[in-house]
Amino acid sequence: FAFQVTSSTRQLCKKKKISAIFPFLLLEILSPFPLWYREGFLWKRGRDNGQFLSRKFILSEREGALKYFNKHDAKEPKAIIKIEHLNATFQPSKIGNPNGLQITYLKDNSTRNVFVFHEDGKEIVDWFNAIRAARFHYLQVAFPGASDADLVPKLTRNYLKEGYMEKTGPKQTEGFKKRWFTIDDRRLMYFKDPLDAFARGEVFIGSKDNNYIVLEGLPPSTQGNHWQFGITIVTPDRKFLFACETQYEQQGWITAFQKVIDRPMLPQEYAVEAHFKHKP
C-alpha cells in the first residue's frame, strides 16, 4: 500500500525513536525516495578455486542487505551482507578486468572479500551507485543529526594503500615471507594472494595518543633474510616487523601508517580495538 508521509510524522518517528525497533520501517518513512532494490547477475570469483562464475545478486534496502546465490534457482542465499558493514571499491588492476569491483564486509570480526565484475561497464557502475545510495539511506537513520556532507565520506571508501611487503611472526625469529598488504581505515590486513577471500591476519592500527608508533628500520637483533628497507609498527601489545623492496615503497608505507596513527580515535573505534582479533 502507499501513504503520504508528512513532516509531523517524520518528527514523531524521530522523537519516539522508532528506529531502535523498526530501523528499516523508519528508513522507508523518513526517506523521500523509494527504497533501493536491485537484482542481477555478476561474475564472482570463487573463494577457493579462483574461477569467476555467474552469480545472482540482490540488493534490498528494505531487508538492509546485499545477498548472492550460488545457483540461479537457489531459494536461500549463500551470503547475506548487511548494508551496515558493506563497502565497495573499484579494483580493475587487481581483478584483471576493467569493470572489476571489490566488495567487502565483516564476518565474525574478520574482513571477507568478494571480487566481481560485469561485461558492461555501466552495469557495474550502477551496482556501485546502488550500494552507495543504500548506504546513504542507512546512515541517515543511524546518524539522524548528521549532515549530508558528514555522511558522504562514509558511503564507500578506497584503501589507503595496498602492495607487497615481507613480514615475520610474533617471535621475530621466523623467516620473512612476502605478503600482500592492505590498509583499510584502521585495519592492516595481509594476504598470501591479493585475491584471497580472507586475510591471513589483521592488525588494528590505533592513534599515537594510544601508544601506536611507526618507525623506520628494524631492531638490530632481527634475524633472517629480508628486503633491505624495514618498518616497525609498535602497538600496546607487540611490535610488527615489515620489510619493503625499495626505499620508495618504504616511505610510502610509513606515510600511510603515519596518517592513520596521527588521526585521533573515535569512540566507536575503542570498541573495535577492544574486540579486535588478529592472527600472528
When comparing pLDDT for 108 and 126, which is higher?
A: 126
Per-residue pLDDT at 242 exceeds 70? yes
Torsions phi, psi for 245 (to 5 deg): -75, -35
pLDDT of res. 34: 56
Dihedral sign computed on CA atoms, order 25, 27, 32, 36: negative
pLDDT on residue 1:
28
pTM of the model: 0.83
pLDDT digits (tens, 9 = 90+) for 44-65: 999 888 899 999 999 999 999 9
Q: In the chain, what percentage of residues exceed pLDDT 90?
A: 68
87 pLDDT band (50/70/90 cuts)? very high
> Which among 214, 219, 218, 194 is positioned nearest to 203, based on CA atoms?
214
- 42 pLDDT more than 90: yes
pLDDT(263) > 90:
yes
Q: What percent of the chain has pLDDT over 70?
A: 85
Euclidean distance between CA atoms 24 and 138, whole angstroms: 8
Tell me: pLDDT of 197 over 80.
Answer: yes
Question: Residue range 124-149: average pLDDT?
Answer: 93
pLDDT over 60 at 33, yes or no? no
* Torsion on CA atoms 180, 265, 263, 106, rounded to nearest 10: 30
Pick from 4-13, 83-92, 192-201: least confident: 4-13
Q: Does residue 24 carry a pLDDT above 70?
A: no
pLDDT band at 221 (very low <50, low <70, confident <90, very high): confident
Helix axes 7-15, 23-30, angle to 10 degrees: 150
Q: What is the mean pLDDT of the chain?
A: 86
Instruction: Look at 20-24, 85-89, 130-134, 241-245 and tell me which has the smallest mean pLDDT.
Output: 20-24
pLDDT on residue 185: 93
List the chain domain ranges: 7-152, 161-278
Domain 161-278 architecture: Roll (2.30)
For domain 7-152, the CATH architecture is: Roll (2.30)
Nearest residue to 207 via CA among 158, 265, 166, 154: 265
Pairing of strands 187-191, 201-204: antiparallel
**30: confidence class by pLDDT, cuts 50, 70, 90:** very low
- For the cut 80, the answer to whether the pLDDT of residue 211 exceeds it is yes
CA-based torsion, 236, 154, 140, 113: positive or negative: negative
Backbone angles phi, psi at 24, to 5 degrees: -90, -15
Grid cell 503520504 — which residue?
A: 4
Fold: same for 7-152 and 161-278:
yes
